Structure 1
Amino acid sequence: MRRGTVLLALFLASCMGGGDRPAPIRERKSGPITLNRPTPRETQQCFTDLSRERVRYSALPDRDFGGGCVVTGAVQLIDIGVPVTNLKSMRCPLARSFAGWVRFAVAPAAKQILGSELVRVESFGSYSCRAIIGGNAAASGRMSEHGLGNAVDVGAFILADGRKVRVETGWKSDDPAVRQFFQVIHNSACKRFRTVLSPDYNAAHYNHLHLDMGRGPFCA
Structure 2
Amino acid sequence: MVSIAFFRPLVVPVLAALVLAGCAGGGGRKPAPNRPAPVVKERPRLSASELRQCFADLRAADVRFDALPDRNFPGGCSAIDSVKLLDVGVPVANLGAMQCPLARTFAQWAYYAAMPAARRFLRGELVKIETMGSYACRNINGVAGPAASQRSEHAFANAVDVSAFILADGRRVSVKAGWSGSSDERQFLRALHRSACKRFQTVLGPDYNAAHHDHLHFDMGRGPYCR
TM-score (norm 1): 0.82
**SS at structure 2 position matched to 1:140:** helix
Residue of 77, 80, 87 corresponding to 1:79: 87
- Aligned partner of 1:144 in structure 2 is 152
**Rg larger in 1 or in 2?**
1
Distance 2:144 2:106 in 1: 27
**SS at structure 2 position matched to 1:192:** coil
Higher relative contact order structure (alpha carbons within 8 Å, sequence separation ≥ 6)? 2
Residue of 68, 71, 80 corresponding to 1:63: 71
Query: RMSD over aligned Cα, in angstroms?
Result: 1.8
After TM superposition, the runs of 4+ consecutive aligned structure 1 residues lying more than 2 A away are 20-25, 37-40
Distance 1:165 1:123 in 2: 12
Residue 71 of structure 1: CA displacement?
A: 1.6
Distance 1:97 1:172 in 2: 27
Distance 2:103 2:38 in 1: 28
- Aligned partner of 1:123 in structure 2 is 131
**SS at structure 1 position matched to 2:198:** helix
Q: Give the helix-richer structure, 1 or 2.
A: 1
- Aligned partner of 1:214 in structure 2 is 221
Aligned sequence identity (%): 57
Residue 77 of structure 1: CA displacement?
A: 0.8
Residue of 22, 47, 63 corresponding to 2:36: 22
- Aligned partner of 1:30 in structure 2 is none
**1:60-98 CA-partner distances (Å, limit 9, x unpaired):** 111101201022110011111101110000000000010
**SS at structure 2 position matched to 1:67:** helix
Specify the code of the residue in structure 2 equivalent to 1:209: L
Paired residues in the alignment total 189
TM-score (norm 2): 0.79
Distance 1:156 1:138 in 2: 31
Specify the code of the residue in structure 2 equivalent to 1:113: F
Residue of 158, 163, 179 corresponding to 2:186: 179
Which consecutive unaligned segments of at least 5 residues does structure 2 have?
1-33, 40-44
Residue of 206, 211, 215 corresponding to 1:204: 211
Which consecutive unaligned segments of at least 5 residues does structure 1 have?
1-19, 26-36
